[in-house]
Amino acid sequence: MTGLPLIFAFVIAIIVMIVAISKFRIHPFLAILGVSVIFGLIGGIPLVKHGKVLGIADVVSAGFAGTFTSIGIVIIMGALIGTILEKTGAALKMADCVVRLVGKNNTSLAVLIMGWIVSIPVFCDSGFVILNPIRKALVRRTHCSAVATAVAMSMGLYISHCFIPPTPGPIAAANTIYEGMGMEPNLILIIGLGTASSILPMIAAYFYANYIGSKVKSKEEQAERADPAETQQTYEDLIKSYGQLPSAFMSFAPIVVPIILMGLSSAMAMSGNRTDIITFLGTPIIAISVGVLLGILVLMQSSIQDKMKAFYQITDDTLKVVGPILFITAAGGVLGKVIASTSMVAFIKANSSTLASLGIFFPFLLSAILKTAQGSSTVAITTTAGIMAPLMGTLGLGTPMLAAITVIAIGAGAMTVSHANDSYFWVVTNFGDMEVQDGYRAQTMGTLVTGIAAMINVYILYLILG
C-alpha cells in the first residue's frame, strides 16, 4: 500500500493504538509493537530481508535498539541522579532555592523558563530527565499541579530544542538552506530569531499548562484524591525526616555540572574549536555519568546510615522504575522506524509541491506533517530543510533574513505534534506520572498549541522583517 491510502492507514493505526491502550487496557508496550508490525506489513515492509531491504523483524529490532542507543543509558543515569537527590533531600533543597527566587505561585513559570534555558545546549529528552527531580520537589514544596509543571517544563525544553542552536536540528537546517543558496549560515541571527520566536509559544505553553493541570491529575494525585483520609506529610516534617540537608551548591551540582559540560561541548563544536576532552565530557552519557558521581558525593555527605547499602538499594529501585519507561520508549522508537521504512515519508516529500504556494507557511506545514508521521523533531527539521533548499528562490525566500526565518518556521513545525511515535512523548508521560490517555491530552495537545503559537510568532517576524 502506498500514497494516500497508506496515510489513511497510518491515521487508523494511531486511533487503534490509542483505543487499545485507553479502552481495552492493553499495555502500551504490546499495543505499540503490535500496531507497528501490522502497519509495517500494510506499508509494504517484507516479511524477511531481500537484499538491502530489511524485513519487518529487522526493522523492529533496529527501531528498538536505536532508541536504547540514543537515550537508554541517559534515562537510566538521569533517573539515578534523581533518586539520589530525592533520598538525600537535595531535591528539596533545590526546590526551596527556586521557590525563594520565583515565589510559591509561579512554579509553572519557573520550570517553563528553566526548561527553555537548559534545552539550548541539551536535548529535550535528557533535559526533562535531568530537571525532573527539581520539578517533583517543587510540586511537594508548593502543592501545585504535577501535570501543569510537567507540561510547562516539557514545552520550555521543546521550544528551545527546535528553535535555538547549538541544538543539532536548527544547525543542520541552517547549513542545508544557506549552503543551497550559496551563503554562509548566520547562526547568531538564527539564535536571535529563535529567541524572539519563543515569546508567544512560551506564553501559550504557560497558560495551557495551567489549564490542563486543572483538568488532568497525575497518578499520585489521583491516588490521593481517591483516599482523602490519608494525611499528607507536611513540608516541615519532611525536612526533619532527612536530618541535615545538603548545601545548595552540592544539591545543584549533579544537575548543573552535566548541563555545563554539554553546553561547552556544543558551543565549541559550533565555533569549530573542538577538543577531544571537552567533546568526551560533553557527550550526554558521560556528562550525566559525571552527575551520578557528584550525586554519590552528595550521598556520602548525607546523614543516611550504611551509605553503600543505601546506594545499592537506590540503584536497584531506580532500575525497577526505569525499566517499563525504557521499554515503552523503545516501542515508540520501533513505530517511528517502521513508518520511516514505508513509502509514506517519500510520498509526502514527492508531493510537497502542492503546498508550495503557501509561502512561509509551507516549511511549517511540511515539517509538521513529517514530525507527526515519523516522530523525530530532528529528522523532521533536517528532511524539511533538504526539501526547502532548492525551493527558496521559487518561494521568494532567497534573502539571508528570510532564510533564517525559514529555519525557525521549520522548527515550529517540528514541535507539532508529539505523540506515540516520539520518544519524548513517553519520557514526559512516564516521568510526569501520567496515564497514556492523559499524556495525549497534556503533551500531544500541548505541542499542538505551542507549535501553532510558534508559527504565529514566526509569521509576525516575517511581516516585520521580510
Distance from the Cα of residue 7 to its chain's centroid: 25
User: pLDDT value at position 232?
Assistant: 52
pLDDT above 60: residue 233: no
- Of 405, 448, 445, give the one whose Cα is nearest residue 429: 445
The region of weakest confidence among 15-19, 160-164, 194-198, 206-210 is 15-19
- Of 376, 360, 393, give the one whose Cα is nearest residue 465: 360
3-state secondary structure 328-359: HHHHHHHHHHHHHHCCHHHHHHHCHHHHHHHC
pLDDT above 90: residue 450: yes
Q: Where are the beta strands (DSSP E) in 282-393?
A: none
User: pLDDT value at position 460?
Assistant: 96
Question: Which value, to the nearest 10 degrees, does the dihedral of the CA atoms of residues 159, 379, 63, 341 take?
Answer: 140
pLDDT above 60: residue 441: yes
Q: Read off the pTM.
A: 0.74
Other C-beta atoms closer than 10 Å to the C-beta of 55 total 15
User: pLDDT value at position 429?
Assistant: 94
Contact 13, 313 (CB under 8 A): no
Contact 254, 79 (CB under 8 A): no
The upper half-sphere exposure of residue 170, i.e. CA atoms within 13 Å in the direction of its Cβ, equals: 35
At a CB cut-off of 8 Å and minimum separation 6, what does 330 contact?
A: 63, 64, 67, 68, 72
Contact 152, 206 (CB under 8 A): yes
User: pLDDT value at position 229?
Assistant: 47
Region 442-452 average pLDDT: 96
53: β partners? 50
Question: Which value, to the nearest 10 degrees, does the dihedral of the CA atoms of residues 349, 9, 337, 329 take?
Answer: 130
50: β partners? 53
The region of weakest confidence among 27-31, 90-94, 227-231, 399-403 is 227-231
Phi and psi dihedrals of 50, rounded to 5?
-125, 105
Cell matching residue 12: 487508523
- Of 126, 90, 133, give the one whose Cα is nearest residue 111: 133
Q: What percent of the chain has pLDDT over 70?
A: 94
Distance from the Cα of residue 418 to its chain's centroid: 9
